[in-house]
Structure 1
Amino acid sequence: MSSPAFRALKETFGCRITLLTSRAGSLIAPYLECVDDVIVADLPWVRTSGESAGALMSLVEDIRSRNFEAAVIFTVYSQSSLPAAMLLSMAGVPVRVAYARENPYDLINRWIPDREPYDHILHQVRRDLDLVFSLGARPADERLKLRIKDGDQENVQDELGRLGVDPRTPYIILHPGVSEVKREYPADLWIAAGKLLAQKYRLPLLVTGSTSESALAGRIADGIGQGALAVAGNFSIGEFICLIDHASCVVSVNTATIHIAAARQTPAVVLYAQTNPQHTPWQSPHQILPFSVPAGLKSSNTIIGYVNGKLYQGKVPYPHPKQVLLAVGKWIAHLSDRLFRETYG
């Protein structure tokens, strides 16, 4: 979601972009044309295992050795930019740009007071674009973009053929896996929705996910029955981008998959736990089907708690499988109409 802001910096200033990110974040970097280099570090103020003190000092020296002219720190509104600003200050990066609620004084020398979420809430892409707008940077195109690499398309076609799916045949992706339990849509409802989709459209249903989610994908595919295939762990990130690119529709929880779909303009139906209102698909065809997070799983972050209390006061039940069917139907009909127009004018 920050990549349009990266492009804005590159297009405006003609600069070289190095992305400092976690191991998980680094997986998508090769598919962002605006990123020239990557520094991978799991930092202790991000939800990872975290680097040791010695590793952090080595990171400081690594950053220092590269002689960066400026750093832009991208955060969500519930995160502090100050730890990263301290790291970059120690590394001698002369210009440090970031949002912060409190006055950071010299720690951030291009400071944008953070008004979110108390004055307003912006989409994450808009928040990041506004940060670089403060420097005069604007992209030619604000949409998300991911490139497809040579070889990935052929690999996807080969794998689909191995699974008995004609790669020229339309298919629907179901993506149930989440990194946090609070964003789960129950497996029995996935199965019920899948059965309705299989009955109505007679299209292959590909249940996707990471290797660690293969058991869940298998259980859902088995529950749906004929026409459903569990393919979790079968594709690399690049191949997964290709798989999404050619899907008729993606049905997913709110996770990275919906942003990949947005970057390829693939229609998405999002089973959206009410956690982050700023992380919906950006400038792409989609429909949101929201549901409440169970009370015992809500975040202990007080800023997120404020947003929950302000926006999500009533309980919203899980979307009924028939709602999923109707939402997918809208995009299948839209795709059919477009293909008809392209074929017959």
Structure 2
Amino acid sequence: MKRAESWFNAKNILAIRLDNMGDVLMTTPALRALRDSAPQRRLTLLTSSSGRNAGMYAPMVDQVLIYDAPWMKATANHDSDFDQFTVRMLKSKAFDAAVIFTVYSQNPLAAALLCYLADIPLRLAHCRENPYQLLSDWVIETEPQNGVRHEVQRQLDLVQSVGCTTSNTNLSVEIPPSTRSKLRAQLQQQLDPSLPWVLIHPGATAPARRYPPESFATLTDILANKHGWQIVFSGAADEHALIEEIRRQASVRSFSFAGKLNFIELAALIELAPILISNNTGPVHIAAAVGTPVVDLYALTNPQHQPWKVPHRVLFHDVPCKFCYKSVCPQLHHDCLRKLQPQDVAAATQELAEETLVATQSTLAALTRKIAYLP
């Protein structure tokens, strides 16, 4: 049987994406291609605890399995019992095929061995070296030596190599109407519906991707005092102190959702926001999935993670050490973000708002949701 025919006949497919929420979101177009390229397919996602929620609300995914793999950076130490259980569990599900999604700096062979031991016959990944029996199909890894693609395009290219394509390459997250209504009601209690508002997400897991708190404080003052924006903050529970420090330094009133929202509530908040201002982190990709314009404060670490198919501004201060791919600034100066001026961020926010206003002025509902007013 020809290889393309074997993949077309695969009905029970395992997709593996073991890193973070944003990575799972950027893989949803490729997951859609897998699901839609043959009839009656079932798609299971194996992902980390961090990526779980993005998978749970991805409409093309039938089931999400959690596996914090020992070869991934963020995984806590554990014995091999759970890894052996995972092999047995995957084997019991009798998958026809597995696709391993990685960034180019990750080696897919540990996940490939997992699939090999689970007797999954078709196994696909990008790979830098000959995997021999560990992968039945592989695409040679050419990044970063021959240039870097956007992460979404990288994964679309991978599944296209076995005949899986889609005309819809948007990111996906499915928000329940009840969740949207809940967040709308909370906003109505806090904001003046006659004034514009902006959502700011100042946290990020990697220190190298965090805009300085004092710069965020200055930015909020400029947005409120010069442009008349109301300020809303979002963040995880462990970012509460950061957000409170920003609010303390700023002179204007703001409202914070820090630690108050789960994943899908955060997605609903971002969907309702006229504009999101964020470091380069997961909420940027949520914004892309729900169609909210985003001002991305982009530390020059990973160029392949910019906003996908959504109105945006990518802001940074150019530095000779750009594209370092480091979680902590190796030069210790953090100039790619530290020297990005708050007034420039505010100007870009206002400019993006005005451009989006022109683009959506023919539809009043879209206008009021996306640009200026509370829904």
TM-score, normalization by structure 2? 0.83
Counterpart in the other structure of 1:324: 345
Answer whether contact 1:202 1:227 (CA < 8 A) is retained. Answer: no
2:67, 2:188 → 1: CA distance? 38
Counterpart in the other structure of 2:131: 104
Distance change in 2, residues 1:10/1:101 (3 Å): same
Counterpart in the other structure of 1:55: 82
1:124, 1:318 → 2: CA distance? 27
User: Which amino acid in the other structure matches residue 211 of structure 2?
Assistant: Y
Q: Give 1:131 shift.
A: 0.3
Counterpart in the other structure of 2:185: 158
2:93, 2:29 → 1: CA distance? 24
Pairing 1:207–2:228 present: no
Kindly report which structure 2 residues correspond to 1:1-345, keeping only aligned pairs within 5 A, or say none.
1-14=26-39, 15-47=41-73, 48-162=75-189, 164-166=190-192, 170-291=196-317, 316=336, 318-338=339-359, 340-343=361-364
Q: Give 1:336 shift.
A: 3.0
Q: Give 1:299 shift.
A: 5.7
Answer whether contact 1:183 1:253 (CA < 8 A) is retained. Answer: yes
Describe the SS at the equivalent of 1:278: helix
TM-score, normalization by structure 1? 0.90
* Higher alpha-carbon deviation: 194-203 or 172-181: 194-203
CA RMSD of aligned residues (A): 2.6
1:267, 1:72 → 2: CA distance? 31
Counterpart in the other structure of 2:23: none
* Higher alpha-carbon deviation: 90-99 or 237-246: 237-246
Answer whether contact 1:248 1:335 (CA < 8 A) is retained. Answer: no
Describe the SS at the equivalent of 1:27: helix
Distance change in 2, residues 1:151/1:169 (3 Å): farther
Counterpart in the other structure of 2:12: none
Answer whether contact 2:99 2:123 (CA < 8 A) is retained. Answer: yes
Describe the SS at the equivalent of 1:18: strand
Answer whether contact 1:254 1:270 (CA < 8 A) is retained. Answer: yes
1:233, 1:145 → 2: CA distance? 24
Distance change in 2, residues 1:144/1:165 (3 Å): same
Distance change in 2, residues 1:94/1:328 (3 Å): same
Q: Give 1:231 shift.
A: 1.6
Describe the SS at the equivalent of 2:363: helix
Distance change in 2, residues 1:114/1:277 (3 Å): same
Describe the SS at the equivalent of 2:362: helix
Distance change in 2, residues 1:318/1:189 (3 Å): same
1:327, 1:334 → 2: CA distance? 10
Distance change in 2, residues 1:125/1:343 (3 Å): closer
User: Which amino acid in the other structure matches residue 326 of structure 1?
Assistant: A
Counterpart in the other structure of 1:311: none
Q: Give 1:24 shift.
A: 0.7
1:59, 1:100 → 2: CA distance? 23
Answer whether contact 2:196 2:228 (CA < 8 A) is retained. Answer: no
Residue segments in structure 2 that go unaligned for 5+ positions in a row: 1-25, 368-375
User: Which amino acid in the other structure matches residue 235 of structure 2?
Assistant: G
Q: Give 1:221 shift.
A: 2.1
